[in-house]
């Protein structure tokens, strides 16, 4: 288990440029099979012949110390004998796209630039803080018995806010069940997310209101829905993009592989956003893959890139590029956000049984919110009043969520029979009527007893 990944190696203080390949290298490959070799090849970046490695497509490039030499960072990876089972995390370092170090220092990347105003930066900070607050409130509410279960996103705020803020309103999101931060970016009322965890519904919102699909619990299924939706976008001639979220565990699912295949052969405008949070309940990412997850894209003929998932700026920049690529007809792209699940899988899980405390501590030092705050403070992009206002807003949100959950009504019993079918179904009608009659029989006896009816 590598876990010492990201930050550590993310030294990348890439001093400038190795040649600013602002190039959208990806620009060339239309996403079909050709891109594997195509993309790669063409990018000069590959200094070494590196044989096999199909350049993980373009954007991968990763600066590293090595990279100081102008070119080719990415090659570092290619040169390795990957076959030997480097594991899902590989040597996470070199290829990791990073724009903000764990210490809050802005660094540049040759392929992914970002230029945000102070206001935008403060906005990202606010998003992450409020998302974390909502999440911790939900965890507390589960402990208090208000929710049956909660899946915390603690630690993954940057991956979700960065990617979520890269989207347009007309884009469409297919989440797992942990994308509370993305939901926030889409404008979904946070309290709506609690319904299924409280047990009052199995989804509970209209996906078309915010172009944010229902949470999907079965692992990886939504990657295909996103792909089909994206095929529809293409058929419509629209320039919207679709983004499918999933995790390191889901990367093993056949549906995810099939989604890669379908999206590639139809050149569908979909971004696969994998949050590799290192753990699928108790199984480490190494149990899911022998190669770094982002490298799988190459085999399907589209680019894959690994981004520091605790760096909101990098997640935003890379997702923007991927979404732009989709919009402009270049097909799918895989983004692997290298992050960490700071909490348990869900409130039912006990991570002390399978992972070390030190590991969590290591990731704590790479906290996504702390690093952005450090940057804002250091560069004078936000003052104390701003931070105080966010704290205040955060408190207010917590209160709102607590009140909302405590007043959330249980569904009507007969809701069991609602919306089973759009056009109705004789059996459902029959059973509904029978059950209503059965329930009414109690009411009758109660009434007759009480009121002498």
Question: Binding residue for other proteins (CB under 8 A) from 232, 287, 320, 362?
Answer: 232
Q: Which one among 49, 52, 421, 440 touches other proteins, defined by CB under 8 A?
A: 421
Which of 202-210, 322-330, 376-384, 398-406 is the region at the interface with other proteins (rule: CB under 8 A)?
Answer: 202-210
Please tell me the distance from the alpha carbon of residue 89 to that of residue 80, in angstroms, as a whole number.
14
Q: In this structure, how many other beta carbons lie within 10 angstroms of the beta carbon of residue 354? A: 12
Among 44, 218, 414, 440, binds other proteins (CB under 8 A): 218
Number of residues that bind other proteins (CB under 8 A): 43
Q: Is the dihedral of CA 18, 6, 323, 79 positive or negative?
A: positive
Q: Any bridge partners for residue 274, and if so which?
A: 246, 336
**Residue closer to other proteins (CB basis): 205 or 294:** 205
Is residue 412 a contact residue for other proteins (CB under 8 A)? no
Among the candidate windows 12-20, 35-43, 216-224, 339-347, which touches other proteins by CB under 8 A? 216-224
- Sort strands 283-284 and 279-280 into parallel, antiparallel or unpaired: antiparallel
Options 385, 422, 443, 449; binder of other proteins; rule CB under 8 A: 422
Give ∠ CA 431-435-436 in degrees, rounded to 5.
115
Indicate whether 361 belongs to the interface with other proteins (CB under 8 A): no
Q: Which of 354, 356, 406, 421 is catalytic?
A: 354
206 binds other proteins (CB under 8 A): yes
Start-to-end C-alpha separation, the chain: 72
Which of 15, 202, 348, 445: binder of other proteins (CB under 8 A)? Answer: 202
The DSSP code sequence of 236-285 is HT----EEEEEETTGGGSHHHHHHHHHHHHTT--EEEEEEE-SEETTEEG
**Is residue 299 a contact residue for other proteins (CB under 8 A)?**
no
Active site annotation includes 177: no
Q: Which residues pair with 305 in a beta bridge?
A: 335
Closer to other proteins by CB, 123 or 204: give it.
204
Q: Which of residues 248-277 bind other proteins (CB under 8 A)?
A: 254-255, 258-259, 261-262, 265
Residue range at the interface with other proteins (CB under 8 A); choices 43-51, 360-368, 424-432, 434-442: 424-432
Nearer to other proteins, 356 or 425 (CB): 425
What is the rounded CA–CA span in Å between residue 418 and residue 215?
20
426 binds other proteins per the rule CB under 8 A: yes
For other proteins, the closer of residues 112 and 177 by Cβ is: 177
Residues constituting the chain = 453
Beta strands in 75-193 (DSSP E): 96-97, 172-174
Residue 235 in contact with other proteins, rule: CB under 8 A: yes
Using the minimum distance from each CB to other proteins, give the nearer residue, 354 or 421: 421
Residue 307 CA, chain-centre distance (Å), reads 12
Give Cα separations from 411 to 144, 189, 213, 431 (angstroms). Answer: 20, 19, 22, 18
CB of 241 to other proteins, least distance (A): 13
Classify strands 283-284 and 333-338 as parallel, antiparallel or unpaired. Answer: unpaired
Question: Where along the sequence are the contacts to other proteins (CB under 8 A)?
Answer: 201-208, 213-214, 216, 218, 221, 223-233, 235-236, 254-255, 258-259, 261-262, 265, 418-423, 425-428
* Catalytic annotation, residues: 341, 345, 354
């Amino acid at each position: 288990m590598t876990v010492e990944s990201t930050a550590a190696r993310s030294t990348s203080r890439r001093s400038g440029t190795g040649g600013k390949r602002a190039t959208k290298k990806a620009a060339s490959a239309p996403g079909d099979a050709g891109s594997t070799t195509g993309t790669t090849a063409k990018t000069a970046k590959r200094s070494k012949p590196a044989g096999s490695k199909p350049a993980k497509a373009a954007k991968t490039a990763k600066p590293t110390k090595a990279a100081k030499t102008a070119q080719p960072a990415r090659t570092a990876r290619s040169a390795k004998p990957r076959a030997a089972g480097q594991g899902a995390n590989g040597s996470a370092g070199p290829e990791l796209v990073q724009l903000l170090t764990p210490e809050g220092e802005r660094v540049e990347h040759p392929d992914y630039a970002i230029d945000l105003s102070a206001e935008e930066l403060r906005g990202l900070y606010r998003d992450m803080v409020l998302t974390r607050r909502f999440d911790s409130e939900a965890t507390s509410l589960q402990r208090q018995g208000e929710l049956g279960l909660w899946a915390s996103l603690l630690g993954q705020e940057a991956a979700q806010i960065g990617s979520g803020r890269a989207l347009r309103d007309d884009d469409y999101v297919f989440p797992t069940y942990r994308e509370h931060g993305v939901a926030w970016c889409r404008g979904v009322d946070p309290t709506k997310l609690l319904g299924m965890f409280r047990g009052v519904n199995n989804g509970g919102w209209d996906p078309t209101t915010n172009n944010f699909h229902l949470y999907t619990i079965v692992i990886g299924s939504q990657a295909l829905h996103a792909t089909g939706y994206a095929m529809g976008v293409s058929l419509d001639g629209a320039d919207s993009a679709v983004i499918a979220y999933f995790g390191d565990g889901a990367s093993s699912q056949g549906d995810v592989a099939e989604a890669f295949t379908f999206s590639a052969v139809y050149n569908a405008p979909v971004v696969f956003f994998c949050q590799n949070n290192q753990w699928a309940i108790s199984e480490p990412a190494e149990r899911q893959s022998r190669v770094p997850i982002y490298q799988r894209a190459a085999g399907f003929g589209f680019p894959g890139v690994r981004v520091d998932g605790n760096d909101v700026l990098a997640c935003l920049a890379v997702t923007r590029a991927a979404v732009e690529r989709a919009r402009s007809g270049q097909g799918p792209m895989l983004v692997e956000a290298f992050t960490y699940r700071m909490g348990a899988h869900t409130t039912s899980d006990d991570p002390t049984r399978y992972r070390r405390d030190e590991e969590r501590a290591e990731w704590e030092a790479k906290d996504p919110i702390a690093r952005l705050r450090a940057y804002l403070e250091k560069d004078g992009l936000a003052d104390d009043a701003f931070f105080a206002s966010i704290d205040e807003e955060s408190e207010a949100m917590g209160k709102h969520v607590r009140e909302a959950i405590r007043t959330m009504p249980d569904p009507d019993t007969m809701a069991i029979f609602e919306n089973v079918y759009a056009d109705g179904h004789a059996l459902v009608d029959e059973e509904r009527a029978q059950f209503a009659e059965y329930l009414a029989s109690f009411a009758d006896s109660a009434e007759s007893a009480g009121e002498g009816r």
